């Protein structure tokens, strides 16, 4: 949603679609295949690895309450930021036909 919201200012949104597909390709695989540093980045800073791995791990192994808390934190942050960014974009929107 955040990436596509930038389409308000850009002319060619096809490139955004390709970029979002490329970014999501990273989350196609479990983060266990990456090194320790990349695993930390993909889990805590860019939550693609978190989205790809942690929910399945929570269901198949014993639940880790810290990861549940991190997930709730990311969900809350993502919702708040995407709502703020959408409203920001709508305030600065100018119609293409006028």
**Per-residue pLDDT tens over the stretch 31-64:** 888 888 988 887 778 787 778 788 888 888 888 8
- Given a cut of 60, whether residue 98 has pLDDT beyond it is no
Task: Evaluate whether 48 touches 42 at the Cβ level (below 8 Å).
Answer: yes
| pLDDT given for residue 84 in this prediction | 94
pTM: 0.68
Task: Evaluate whether 52 touches 74 at the Cβ level (below 8 Å).
Answer: no
Taking the C-alpha atoms of residue 38 and residue 66, their distance in angstroms, rounded to an integer, is: 19
């Amino acid at each position: 949603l955040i990436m596509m919201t930038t389409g308000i200012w850009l002319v060619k949104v096809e490139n955004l679609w390709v970029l979002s597909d490329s970014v999501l390709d990273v989350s196609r695989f479990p983060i266990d295949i990456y090194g320790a540093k990349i695993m930390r980045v993909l889990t805590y800073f860019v939550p693609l690895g978190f989205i790809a791995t942690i929910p399945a791990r929570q269901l198949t192994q014993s639940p880790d309450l810290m990861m549940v808390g991190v997930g709730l934190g990311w969900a809350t942050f993502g919702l708040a930021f995407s709502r703020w960014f959408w409203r920001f974009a709508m305030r600065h929107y100018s119609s293409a036909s006028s």
